[in-house]
A = this chain, B = another copy of it.
Amino acid sequence: MGKLERHATIADVAALAGVSVGTASKALNGRGSLREETRMRVREAARQLSFEVNAGARNLHSGRTYTVGMITTDTIGRFSIPVLMGAEDALGAGQMSVFLCDGRDDPIREQYHVKTLLSRRVDGIIVTGRRTQARAPISVGLPVVYAFISSTDPDDCSVVPDETGGARKAVEHLMAIGRTRIAHVTGPEHHHSARVRAQAVADRLAEAGLSVAGPPLFGAWSEIWGRQAVGMLLAGGTSFDAVFCGSDQIARGVADALRAVGRRVPEDVALVGFDNWDVMTRGCQPPLTSVDMNLEGLGRTAAEMLLAAINGTPSPGRHARPCHLVVRESSTVPLGPEARV
């Protein structure tokens, strides 16, 4: 570890190759017109010295650093990771490097990170977070794209999942397999996603002349809440042949509780979750149908829009990307008449 031999400079390369630095620079960057032999000689010298161009010094001229900052509003978590990865992937392909900054839900900390990024002369910034709720914009004189999370300023570029569309697809799927008494169990009412999805469920059912079986049940984003909710549904005497849940964790709790009281999934009750989190959908008995928000795609799109903005073609506004439904066994059996309770 750490034999700290000085990095070779282009002057070193030039000296070894017996040319001037200007020539060496041209040779290595494929600019100007040089004799092929000279070009090779310089390349060989660079190889010998394992020369890697000093990006910082180069950037001094171009004004650009081919670097972007990625800031998470809150802590890095299950939702931000895929977004980060998608973005990292798209940016890496465009030769950009990514500075990772964890905001930790602390505005001071975030502000500090923004300053640092500015000081490092990033070409743009991607802001993400673990909830879809809109947040106050960060104001810097640079291209900024919000991914998953969105900015309260409608002119800012935000790439978000179409949660309403996703919830509608879930309901439509359940109706398509013959379910008409669909309950909805979701997260806390103060949570943006919970409200949006619940509203979408109510709307879509209303369009079909139906209504939610029992009122939507707001609680927590946890398995425990899913289990409790089943108790409430049963105690309330609600008749239901399907449950659409606001998250996979909730759905999993619902599945466990239903099994515990002898209701079969999917025969008696079809079940659909939200997030398509493999750990949950596969661990669930039976495997869980779920809505996928395509977070990695969101990150990739955000990165592409940021690159475009950096190159002078911004895409202002809120861009909602479709969710898709992944059907598994928890909702595969059409409701036969014998299963009606």
A2 interface hit (Cβ, 8 Å): yes
> Closest CB-CB distance, A142 to chain B, in whole Å?
6
What are 8 sample pairs from A and B whose C-beta atoms fall under 8 A apart?
Answer: A1-B314, A2-B124, A2-B141, A52-B115, A52-B118, A56-B120, A76-B81, A88-B101
Residues of B within 8 A of A20 (CB): none
* Cβ proximity bits A124-168 to B, threshold 8 Å, 1 near / 0 not: 100000000000000001111000000000011100000000000
Contact (Cβ within 8 A) B309 A2: yes
Is A102 positioned at the interface, with any CB of B under 8 Å from its CB? Answer: yes
Is the CB of A65 closer than 8 A to any CB of chain B? yes
Contact A143–B2 (Cβ < 8 Å): yes
Q: Which residues on the B side are within 8 Å of A117 (C-beta)? A: 97
With a cutoff of 8 Å between Cβ atoms, the chain B residues found around residue A3 in the complex are 141
Q: Tell yes or no: A108 within 8 A of B by CB.
A: no
The answer to whether A53 has its CB under 8 Å from any CB of chain B is yes
Which residues in B have their C-beta under 8 angstroms from that of A65? 56
A223 to B117 CA separation, bound complex (whole angstroms): 42
Within 8 A of B (CB), among A282-311: 282-283, 285, 309
| Alpha-carbon distance between A76 and B57 when the two chains are bound, in angstroms | 31
A55 within 8 A of B: yes
Cα A127 to Cα B29 with chains together (Å): 30
* Bound CA span A85–B102, Å: 8
Contact A282-B223, Cβ < 8 Å, known A1-B155, A141-B5? yes
Docked CA distance A88–B102 (Å): 7
Chain B positions within 8 Å of A89 at CB level: 102
User: Which residues of chain A (3-29) have a CB below 8 Å from chain B?
Assistant: 3-5, 7
Roughly how many angstroms separate A257 CA and B308 CA in the complex, as a whole number?
A: 52
A279 at the interface (CB under 8 A from B): yes
Say how far A271's CB is from chain B's closest CB, in angstroms. 16
Does A111 sit within 8 A of B, measured CB to CB? no
Contact of A157 among B1, B252, B253, B314 (CB under 8 A): B1
Tell me whether A1 and B144 are in contact (CB under 8 A).
yes
Chain B residues, CB < 8 A from A99 = 97-100
Chain B residues lying within 8 Å of A4, measured Cβ to Cβ, are 141-142
A83-102 toward B: CB 8 Å interface, digit per residue (1/0)?
01100110010000111111
0/1 string, A101-129, CB within 8 A of B gives 1: 11000000000010111111100100000
Closest residue of chain B to A142, judged by CB? Answer: B2
Interface set, chain A 29-86, CB cutoff 8 A to B? 52-57, 59-60, 65, 67, 70, 75-77, 81, 84-85
Name the CB-closest residue of B to A122. Answer: B97
- With beta carbons under 8 angstroms apart, the residue of B75, B92, B156 that contacts A85 is B75
Contact residues in B for A98 (Cβ distance below 8 Å): 99-101
